Amino acid sequence: MKKRIGLIASTTLFTSMLLTACSGGNTSSAPATSKAPEAKSAAPVTINWWSWNPDENKAKPFVDKFNASQSEVKVNYKRYEYNDYVKTLKLAMVSGDEVDVFGIQAGAMAKEYTEFSEDLTPYAVKEWGNDWQNRFYDLGLKQLLAGSKTPALPFFNSAAGYLFYNNTLLEKAGLKPPTTYAEWVEYVKVAPSKGINAPFIQGAKDAWQNFDMFIAIANEFAPGKIYEAEAGKVKWTDGDLVKAATTWKDMFQNGIMQNGAYGLSVYPDASDKFAKGETAMIMLGTWHDTRMTKTISANDKKKYGLTTDYEFLAAPFPDLNGDGKPGSLFGGPDVSLAITKESKKKEAAWKFVKWMVSEEAQKMNADVMQIPSIKGIQINDADIGTDRQKANMKQQMKDLENAIGKREFLYPELKTALGDALAMIATGKATPEEGMKNVQTASDKIKK
């Protein structure tokens, strides 16, 4: 920078001498009559936002709106596929690459990056007061807190634990979504004779969907016990968790899980089949609600060459424990925003993060069927296709109030161990007892 200043100064001096020489050394001249040019406003501070979510199309309206709302800060967004993002972000934190705001996931990822994240508590207190936490849903914020520190703020929330189903196909077949485990087993047996060859689909190649299924099962038999096991307060070999693992095994034997489930990813494989009407049911979460909109329906018809407007709905997870009640949702912040501790543009970065959790930005989330991170924002149902779908969305907002826990574990070693155990149990390489014992062995090695 010093070299650049010196270069500018030398150039200015040379230009001045040249003009003086050209004027014959006469320094007396007529007073200037033209006005001095107006000073140009300072260029905006450019900050870089990295994440895997949202995708470019969904991020663009937020970036454009923020950039147009003020002139001091400009945001550039760079999106990666999740696996690439995890690798690239680690390198960026070590090498000090120019990333100012970055997306993180609650659980293991948030824990890993806390040391690289600016504590946002002082910023939040200054902006919203000492009770600032009350403006956020507990479901999203509390999973991000690290003691008194706030490494990130939730951009939007999501919850898993629903069976999304194609109501058009089910009504045509004279079927309804299962409300109990027995009904679920019967449904997958009967559906093919009714013209539904793929009653349910699981993208078991992606461990995260298997975690969602197992958490839902475990929370049915013993609500919250799986989180106690994660914390080391309960053994993974506990009878209720072994019972959940046994149910997981049974699903691969009684027809609920399709043949070849472990060779199929959720995105794009299983999701595409569901969108095209090639399967009638899949376990997903609130992030899949956009499937209910007229916009997505029109896009799908064009993308897949469909001629039918499918009506997609979400059903509660079936009652497995016989208490007559459906399963509860579990979730948290889908993606959260952190500021790099080493950023040289923290004030500019905070201005952006603050705006992203403002009413203006959160209403934009609600407009595209994303669950807002702050209270008081209603989902905009203008683009929802049918009255049943609108009623379904209202019910989902009520269900969120009774969510039972989180989706993400704090310890990556535990996630790996559980993923491996579920795969071995599903393929018959381990019994449910052996699988849970392996998870407990991994848990014992983790310093909690």
Q: Write the pLDDT tens digit of every residue in 41-73.
A: 579 999 999 999 999 989 999 999 999 999 999
Confidence of residue 31 (pLDDT cuts 50, 70, 90): very low
User: In angstroms, rounded to a whole number, what is the distance separating the alpha carbons of residues 446 and 448?
Assistant: 6
Q: Which residues pair with 332 in a beta bridge?
A: 158
pLDDT at 97: 74
Q: What is the mean pLDDT of residues 184-210?
A: 97
pLDDT higher for 96 or 169?
A: 169
Range in 7-16, 105-114, 294-303, 406-415 the model is least confident about:
7-16
Confidence of residue 420 (pLDDT cuts 50, 70, 90): very high
Residue 400: which of 228, 162, 177, 212 has the closest Cα?
162
For the cut 90, the answer to whether the pLDDT of residue 18 exceeds it is: no
Judging by DSSP bridges, how do beta strands 45-51 and 73-79 pair with one another?
parallel
For the cut 90, the answer to whether the pLDDT of residue 336 exceeds it is: yes
Q: What is the mean pLDDT of residues 341-367?
A: 97
Q: What is the mean pLDDT of residues 165-185?
A: 98
pLDDT at 15: 34
For the cut 70, the answer to whether the pLDDT of residue 397 exceeds it is: yes
Q: Which residue pairs from 389-395 have beta carbons closer than 8 angstroms and sit at least 24 positions apart in sequence? A: 389/292, 389/311, 389/312, 389/313, 392/292, 392/313, 392/314, 393/289, 393/292, 393/369
Q: Which CATH superfamily is domain 159-330+404-444 in?
A: Periplasmic binding protein-like II (3.40.190.10)
Residue 338: C-alpha distances to residues 99, 102, 343 (Å): 10, 5, 11
**What's the token pair of residue 279?**
């399967």
For the cut 80, the answer to whether the pLDDT of residue 425 exceeds it is: yes
Q: Which CATH superfamily is domain 45-158+333-386 in?
A: Periplasmic binding protein-like II (3.40.190.10)
What digits encode the pLDDT tens for the residues 225-259? Answer: 999 999 999 999 999 999 999 999 999 999 999 99
- Those residues whose C-beta lies under 8 Å from the C-beta of residue 62, and which sit 6 or more positions away, are 54, 356, 361, 364
Three-class SS state of 315: strand
Q: What is the mean pLDDT of residues 99-120?
A: 95
- Which class for 314: exposed (0-12), middle (13-18), buried (19 or more C-beta within 10 A)? buried
pLDDT at 148: 94
Confidence of residue 447 (pLDDT cuts 50, 70, 90): confident
pLDDT higher for 156 or 20?
A: 156
Query: What is the 8-class DSSP label of residue 233?
Result: S
For the cut 70, the answer to whether the pLDDT of residue 283 exceeds it is: yes
Confidence of residue 436 (pLDDT cuts 50, 70, 90): very high
In 222-351, at which residue ranges do the beta strands (DSSP E only) sit?
Answer: 281-285, 312-316, 330-339
Residue 397: C-alpha distances to residues 136, 384, 421 (Å): 15, 15, 34
Do 45-158+333-386 and 159-330+404-444 come out as alike in CATH topology? Answer: yes
Q: What is the 3-state secondary structure (H, E, C) of 127-192?
A: HHCCCHHHHECHHHHCCCCECCECCCEEEEEEEEEEEEEEHHHHHHHCCCCCCEHHHHHHHHHHHH
Residue 408: which of 80, 157, 143 has the closest Cα?
143
pLDDT at 95: 79
What digits encode the pLDDT tens for the residues 129-152? Answer: 999 999 999 889 999 999 999 999
Identity of the residue numbered 222: A
Q: What is the mean pLDDT of residues 14-43?
A: 41
Identity of the residue numbered 87: K
> Domain map of the chain by residue range?
45-158+333-386, 159-330+404-444
Residue 162: C-alpha distances to residues 176, 313, 422 (Å): 15, 9, 20
pLDDT at 41: 56
Of 34-38, 92-96, 244-248, which one has max mean pLDDT? Answer: 244-248
Average pLDDT of the chain is: 90
Q: Provide the sign of the torsion angle of the four alpha carbons 86, 92, 95, 96, taken in this order.
A: negative
User: In angstroms, rounded to a whole number, what is the distance separating the alpha carbons of residues 329 and 364?
Assistant: 24
pLDDT at 32: 41
pLDDT at 5: 35
User: In angstroms, rounded to a whole number, what is the distance separating the alpha carbons of residues 295 and 282?
Assistant: 21
Share of the chain above pLDDT 90, in %: 84
Longest dimension (CA), the chain: 103
